[in-house]
Amino acid sequence: MAPWLRSCLRCYRSGVRLLLRPDAACRRGCSSVQGEVRVRFAPSPTGFLHLGGLRTALYNYIFAKRYGGAFILRLEDTDQSRLVPGAAESIEDMLEWAGVPPDESPRRGGPAGPYLQSQRLDLYSQTAQQLVETGHAYYCFCSPQRLELLKKEALRSGQTPRYDNRCRHLRADQVQGKLAQGVAHVIRFRLEAGVEPFEDLVFGWNRHEVAEVEGDPVVIKADGFPTYHLANIVDDHHMKISHVLRGSEWLISTSKHLLMYRALGWTPPTFGHLPLLTNKDGSKLSKRQGDIFIQSFQRDGILPEALLDITTNCGSGFTTNRIGRTIDELISEFNPSKITTHSALLELEKLPEFNRIHLEKRIEKEEHCKLLIQHLREKIQQVYTAELQHEEVLQEDYIKRVLHLRKGHISSLKELVGPGYAFLWVRPSFSSQQVAVLTTEAQLIASLVLKLIEAYGEELTVDRLSKDLKIMAKQTKATKYSDVMKLLRLTLSVLVVLTFSLIKVFSFRRVKEIHHLDT
C-alpha cells in the first residue's frame, strides 16, 4: 500500500476529517495525490445503465474529483454473445446526462486507449502467453461436454461445481501434440495456495484462499476473447489505475486477481468495495426491474441531480446526509472513511420529493431557469400541437411566471403539461349542459363576480374576496355558495387564457388565488 494512503487511513480512523483537520502526514500524502489518482468505471454493454451502475460510477467520479485525478470509462465488451445493440453508446450518453462525464472514454479518447476491450485482444493474448511461458497458466483441452458432466456430478453430490484442474498435469509433448492437431482449447490460470491478505478501503483486511474452493479459472476463452479476471487486471495495469472502486460482490474475487498481479510481477491498485445498493426490502436491484434504468428516469422528467442525491443519501461516505446536495457539495463532503459495509436501501418512493427540491433550485437560478423554459415550451408544443390558440402562452415571461408560481408544488415539468394544468396553455371547453347542472343563474353570477372584481381594483386579497363571495352568493335565488364556487372554477380556466386580451385588471396571480379558494 502506498505510504500516502496508509497515512490517510490512519487519519480517517482517528476520526479526523480529511482536508478539514488532517494531520501533517495525511496532508503530505493527500497533496501528493494530485494528478496521480486514476479510477475507472468498467460496465459491460450487455445492458443499459441502471441505478446500481450509476452509483458505482458516481463514487468513482467523486473520488477522482476529490483528489484531483481522472475518471475513466472502459467498456468490457468481451462477451460478444450477450452484447445489446446501442448499449455502449447509451451508457456514455447517460453518464454525461447525469453530470458525471468521464475524462477518458471510447467517445472522448485518451492516452490509455483504446477503451473498448474488444479492441485490446492482442494485449490480453500476449499477457496470457507470458503466464503460460512462466508456468502460471496452461492450455486446457477439456470439452464442454466433460465440463458439463463435472458440473452435474458435483450438483448431484451436493458440492459446489469446480474444474478438477485435469489439464494442468499434461506433459509438454501432450500439449504440443494437441495444439498441432488444432484441438479446441482455453487457457487457465494456475491458482496457488498462500494468498496474501489485502486491506480493502471499506471492508478492511481480507484474504480468500481461492485455490481451496475453486478450480483453475479460464483467462482466455476458446474464441480468443479474455474473461473478466484477466482483462480487468491487464487493463487496470496498462491504464495505470490507482484505485479500484467496485461493488462488494467482487470482494471474494480480489485474492484471485492479486495472485495474477503477483504472477505477472505487477503492483496492484488499491481496492475499495462498495456496499450494494438494494431495494427497500433488502433485495438486490435487478436489470429486470424496468424502472431502475437511467433512461426511464430521464424520460419521466427526473433531474440528474435528484438521482445523484438519492443514491448517495441512502448510502454512506459523506460528512452530512441531507436532501438537496449538488455534485460539487457531494465532492466537497466526500469522506471515504465514512463508507460503511452496510447495504444502501433505496427508497424510490422518495424520489419525487428529491426531484421537487432540485427543480425548485433550478427555477431559482436564472441560467437554469432559461433552459427549463425552453424545455417546457417544447413539451407544450408537443402535447398541445393543434390546440394552442394564443402565442402568449409560449412567451418566455409567461412560462417563467408559471414556473415561479408553481415551484415547490410540482415534482417535474411533466406535471405542467398534464391534464391538471392544461388550462394554462389551451382554452378549455365546456358545454352549456355542464353549466346547467350547477345552476340556472350563470349569467347573474358572472355579472355579480365581474362587478365585484372591478370594485376591488388593485386591492384584491384572498381573505377579503372569500368573505365577499359568500355575501354575493346570498344574492342568488336558487344557487348554493358551493355551486357558485364550482361554476367559478369551471369558468376561470377559460378566463386565465382570455386574460391577456379581455380582462386587463386581472393579473395571473389574482386568477390563481381565486382558483384555489376553499369551497
Mind telling me the catalytic residues?
287
The vertex-118 CA angle with 238 and 48, nearest 5°, equals 105
Q: What is the secondary structure of 215-276 as a DSSP string?
A: PPPEEE-TTSPBPHHHHHHHHHHHTT--EEEEEGGGGGGHHHHHHHHHHHTPPPPEEEEEPP
Partners of 105 in the beta sheet?
109
The neighbour count for residue 54, using CB atoms within 10 Å, is 27
Amino acid at 375: H
Distance CA 70, CA 281 (A): 35
Distance CA 400, CA 417 (A): 14
Q: What is the secondary structure of 449-470 as a DSSP string?
A: HHHHHHHHGGG--HHHHHHHHH
Contact call for residues 112 and 69 (beta carbons, < 8 A): no
Residue keyed to cell 352568493: 473
For residue 89 the three cell numbers come to 453508446
End-to-end CA distance of the chain: 70
| CA atoms 326, 312, 92, 41: torsion sign | positive
Distance CA 17, CA 317 (A): 12
Closest CA to 356 of 415, 424, 402: 415
For residue 46 the three cell numbers come to 450487455
Query: Exposed, middle or buried by CB within 10 Å (0-12, 13-18, 19+), for 138?
Result: buried
For residue 433 the three cell numbers come to 349542459
φ/ψ of residue 101, rounded to 5? -70, 140
Closest CA to 238 of 131, 117, 112: 112
Contact call for residues 330 and 308 (beta carbons, < 8 A): yes
For residue 139 the three cell numbers come to 492450455
Query: Exposed, middle or buried by CB within 10 Å (0-12, 13-18, 19+), for 451?
Result: exposed
Rounded (10°) angle between helices 24-31 and 3-13: 130
The rounded Cα 102 to chain-centroid distance in angstroms is 14
Torsion on CA atoms 462, 468, 471, 476, rounded to nearest 10: -90
Distance CA 117, CA 301 (A): 34
Q: Would you call 206 helix, strand, or coil by DSSP?
A: strand
